[in-house]
Amino acid sequence: MHLTCTRHLAVAALGALLGYASPAASAAPTLRYTLAMPAPQTHYFEVDMQLDGFSKAYTDVKMPVWAPGSYLVREFAKNVEGFEATAGSEKLRTEKVSKNTWRVYHPKAKAFRVHYRVYAFELSVRTSFVDAAHGYVNGTSVFMYPAEGKMLPSTLEVKPAAGWSQVSTSLQPAGGTFTFRSSSYDELADSPIEIGNQKLYTFTANGTPHTVAMFGDPKVDEQRLTRDMQRVCEEAHKVVGQNPLNRYVFIVHNIDRGTGGLEHLFSTTLSVSRNAYSSEAGWKGFLGLVAHEYFHLWNVKRIRPVALGPFDYDQENYTRMLWVSEGGTEYFSNLIVQRAGFLSPDEYLGDLSNGITRVENTPGNKQQSAAESSFDAWIKYYRPNENSANTGISYYDKGEVIGAVLDLMIIQETKGQKHLDDVMRYLYDQYYTKLGRGFTDQEYQDAVAKVAGRRFDDFFRRYVYGTETLPYEQALGYAGLKLTITPAPATDVALGASISPAGGRQTVSSVQRDGSAWQGGLSVGDEILSLDGARLTDDPNKLLAGRAVGSEVKLLVARDGQIREIRFPLLAATTRRYRIERVANPTAEQQTALAKWLPVKGN
């Protein structure tokens, strides 16, 4: 009885907001979408919106500018064509009032129809696509919403192109063929749709039905696919220990070159190289992607920074916590694959060693903190240029190694009783379940302190909000491990520039901060014509072996249509190789810590 009364009050309030004054729940505004693709080879979706109960003189409808989970303003409105509105047979006046807002004037009509086309020819997990083979919809790039009715429930009818028989989505059925319902625009936008003749596989994990919709007809062992994905999903459930699902859908695009994945509340889209399943390395890479995007159903979609929902679809949603949301997810996804038995502890340590090597050999690691990298994702991470490695660090890479160090410190502080999993459980229980909101930066630090039994404020100040080198040796030592650092030989020299051969030309594509080329004035875009007077036909980095540190190199380059000579001394190579190794005789305490961190399957 209480739930029914609450719903009536909410509907009445929504009706008043939209200009419809009626206490009856049945008179609330309604919204219905129809999605069609009558000529898929032209790459257009046709969208109809039926709006009823909107009694103001006009209604604004909006197209989001970005897709949650991908932190870049993509201006989806640029792909909209043929926007029009009608009330019965009457054409209504419309005008575009901002880059992503259309105003529909309907002074005498409470019910009206909006129609538009969307050009969709970018097959990525963040965008939408349709061609003669299949259609894929990411909601924010196709569906508009009433500006004052984002929380309206809606129905969606999908009309597949001729010859297509499947529609895969996590949206709940609403009766009728390919008709679905959503509780709000947020749910509609967060439920991608695959349309075509995709193959469907199913499995159950933690009592929840899971569907795998595979486009691209890859050569894959169905039994192995569902068995191994099930193992990964069940292992992922153990981290938080709570199952918020009643269904889950994997949409998998098998294409020439995979591009990654994007998380959603009850689904994910994975873009995978169609040949990935043919090798052990490719298979483990696929399982790692499955683990990453699946773990996002907790970390980001439910355990989230305050900025990441409810979403403002008109502009950037800033947070300094992507090193947790994305980097932390990468950390846990690799642990999940190891815990599921697909990686041995030593194989996992090898992968983590590679991660440390990437971070510590990136010059930008000393210029940008993990928190700054998170905040600047909108203008830097998704818009890299030739200087990005010098000025910034990936919040994925840095967040992963921060997670490893922090996890080991929590294990040490609690004598092997707690670990970073317990922090995730606390955040889920406290903020998602009890408070129904995201957490602040400070509340994340408080959660770590509560689990560990002491505060780590200095750790966060120095290594998360600062750029000091993480205390790898200290943390690894807790688990009977050590970090071996192998520098480049003292006699090795490095040009400090990357070369891209194109059309027989050797062109500079990047210059490393403080390296030989940086100091000597070589620039991105320079075409190197000769080295020490000899015509250059190969990467100059290959020709410098054996040169003495401090010896001068003379380059003839073409820059902006002019020939220039550049001379500079060669500096010593500065790259280092990091490798995690076991100590010879670990103590009982160290063995306990290692077993807590990297349990062996079956133990």
CATH 3.30.2010 in the chain is located at 208-297
Q: Which H or E run contains 233? A: helix 222-240
Per-residue model confidence (pLDDT) at position 442: 98
Question: What's the mean pLDDT in 436-449?
Answer: 98
Q: CB within 8 A of 542, min separation 6: which ones?
A: none
Long-range pairs for 187-191: beta carbons < 8 A, 24 or more residues apart: 187/265, 188/33, 188/139, 188/143, 188/145, 188/154, 188/156, 189/64, 189/68, 189/139, 189/140, 189/143, 189/313, 190/68, 190/139, 190/264, 190/265, 191/139, 191/264, 191/265, 191/266, 191/267
Which residue's structure tokens are 């250059």? 536
Is the pLDDT score of 121 beyond 50? yes
∠ CA 104-110-116, rounded to 5°: 40
Is the pLDDT score of 572 beyond 70? yes
Record the tokens describing residue 318, joined without a space.
């800033």
Q: How far apart are CA 320 and CA 441, in angstroms?
A: 7
Per-residue model confidence (pLDDT) at position 504: 82
Confidence category of residue 184, pLDDT binned at 50, 70, 90 = very high
From 355, 353, 357, 231, select the one nearest 284 (Cα to Cα). Answer: 231
Is the pLDDT score of 367 beyond 50? yes
User: In 298-419, at which residue ranges do the beta strands (DSSP E only) sit?
Assistant: none
CATH 1.10.390.10 in the chain is located at 305-488+577-603
Cis-peptide, bond into residue 310, ω within 30° of zero: yes
Which residue's structure tokens are 């210059």? 511
Residue 391, amino acid: T
Exposed, middle or buried: residue 383 (CB in 10 Å: 0-12, 13-18, 19+)? Answer: exposed
* Domain 493-572 top-level CATH class: mainly beta
The region that residue 77 occupies, defined by phi over 0 for left and psi between -120 and 50 for alpha, beta otherwise, is alpha
Q: Please state, for a pLDDT cut of 70, what percent of the chain lies above it.
A: 95
CATH 2.60.40.3650 in the chain is located at 29-197
Q: 29-197, what's its fold?
A: Immunoglobulin-like (2.60.40)
- Helix, coil or strand: residue 509: strand
Q: CB within 8 A of 271, min separation 6: which ones?
A: 123, 124, 125, 253, 255, 258, 259, 260, 261
Q: How far apart are CA 422 and CA 418, in angstroms?
A: 6
- Helix, coil or strand: residue 86: strand
328-359 per-position pLDDT tens digit:
999 999 999 999 999 999 999 999 999 999 99
Q: How far apart are CA 441 and CA 26, in angstroms?
A: 43
Q: Render 371-386 in DSSP notation, one character per residue.
A: HHHHHGGGTTTTS--T
Per-residue model confidence (pLDDT) at position 490: 81
User: Hey, CA dihedral for 406, 427, 438, 71, is it positive or negative?
Assistant: positive
Q: CB within 8 A of 530, min separation 6: which ones?
A: 536, 555, 556
pTM of the model: 0.93
Q: Please, how many CA atoms are within 13 Å of residue 119, restricted to the half-sphere of its CB?
A: 7
Is the pLDDT score of 16 beyond 50? no
- Helix, coil or strand: residue 429: helix
Q: Please state, for a pLDDT cut of 90, what percent of the chain lies above it.
A: 90
- Taken as a whole, the chain contains a residue count of 603
Pairing verdict, β 267-273 and 248-255: parallel
Q: CB within 8 A of 545, min separation 6: which ones?
A: none
Is the pLDDT score of 426 beyond 70? yes
159-176 per-position pLDDT tens digit:
999 999 999 999 999 988
From 513, 528, 515, 524, select the one nearest 565 (Cα to Cα). Answer: 528
- Helix, coil or strand: residue 141: helix
Q: CB within 8 A of 588, min separation 6: which ones?
A: none
CATH 2.30.42.10 in the chain is located at 493-572
Q: For the domain 305-488+577-603, what is the CATH code? A: 1.10.390.10
User: Hey, CA dihedral for 367, 369, 373, 379, is it positive or negative?
Assistant: negative
Exposed, middle or buried: residue 442 (CB in 10 Å: 0-12, 13-18, 19+)? Answer: exposed
26-56 per-position pLDDT tens digit:
468 999 999 999 999 999 999 999 999 998 9
* Domain 208-297 top-level CATH class: alpha beta
Confidence category of residue 602, pLDDT binned at 50, 70, 90 = low
Q: How far apart are CA 445 and CA 464, in angstroms?
A: 11
Residue 587 CB neighbour total at 10 angstroms: 10
Q: How far apart are CA 470 and CA 474, in angstroms?
A: 9
